């Protein structure tokens, strides 16, 4: 299943008061594991940045001047999101802003049923506890030392780790087979070859009794295929 972890930065708290989206960061998940594909863009809001907002994300009007306006990046954003589920922390805030931007272009809003709010998920799992993104990082031991200010892509990457903890996604993928492994959020191979094979725990006598039992099942028994290349039961010595 494809999911998109999303975060935005804005000029304020309410699009109805003329505030705009100034940064979008997205991380793609496939079966709860980050694929390495991201979407990140800064946006010129064509307005000033209030001081209180600047203190949160550090994005100034001077920095954003000359960046693309939302109309220029809307198609790329919608193409990246496609029909994936959208995961966001306090998703109502992000969706309200994004849908307001889409509405100004006459585009369809992102449907509510596509959106999962990790804040609501955390509140159900930890009722009465602090469930901000920072609080969840502390609870799960997720390193946020690189996060000196809010940034949409960085926060989306951190939220991907939190989402994995909230949903058990770190154990979502385990593949066995030749050349296969299991990867977690960091992409490390968690399934490694044992350096020395374990010795058999069955004695030779037990194996002999087992083969004699298989002989009673007839030549068509599937178990015979496992013994085709092995020595006859009478030649097996007790370990």
Q: What is the pLDDT of residue 35?
A: 96
Whole-model pTM: value is: 0.70
Tell me the domains of the chain and their CATH numbers: 2-171 (3.30.420.10), 204-235 (no CATH)
Catalytic annotation present for 89: no
Convert the pLDDT of each residue in 180-232 to its tens digit. 444 444 444 444 555 666 666 777 788 788 888 888 888 777 777 766 655 44
Catalytic residue among 40, 89, 150, 209: 150
pLDDT of 237 over the 50 cut: no
Tell me the C-alpha distance between 153 and 7, whole Å. Answer: 7
Convert the pLDDT of each residue in 46-72 to its tens digit. 999 999 999 999 999 999 999 999 999
């Amino acid at each position: 299943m494809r999911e998109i972890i999303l975060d935005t930065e804005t000029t304020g708290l309410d699009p109805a008061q003329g505030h705009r989206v100034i940064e979008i960061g997205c991380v793609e998940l496939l079966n709860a594991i980050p694929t390495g594909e991201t979407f990140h863009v800064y946006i010129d809001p064509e307005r000033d940045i209030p001081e209180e907002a600047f203190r949160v994300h550090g994005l100034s009007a001077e920095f954003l001047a000359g960046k693309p306006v939302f109309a220029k990046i809307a198609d790329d954003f919608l193409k990246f999101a496609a029909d994936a589920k959208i995961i966001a922390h306090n998703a109502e805030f992000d969706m309200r802003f994004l849908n307001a931007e889409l509405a100004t272009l006459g585009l369809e809003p992102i449907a509510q049923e596509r959106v999962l709010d990790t804040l609501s998920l955390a509140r159900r799992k930890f009722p009465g506890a602090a469930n901000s993104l920072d609080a969840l990082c502390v609870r799960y031991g997720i390193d946020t030392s690189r996060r000196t200010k809010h940034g949409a892509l960085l926060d989306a990457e951190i939220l991907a780790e939190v989402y994995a903890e909230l949903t058990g996604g770190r154990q979502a993928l385990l593949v066995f087979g030749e050349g296969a492994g299991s990867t977690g959020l960091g992409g490390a191979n968690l399934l490694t070859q044992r350096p020395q094979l374990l010795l058999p725990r069955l004695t030779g006598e037990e194996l002999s009794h087992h083969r004699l039992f298989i002989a009673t099942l007839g030549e068509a028994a599937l178990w015979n295929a496992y013994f085709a290349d092995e020595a006859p039961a009478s030649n097996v010595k007790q370990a």
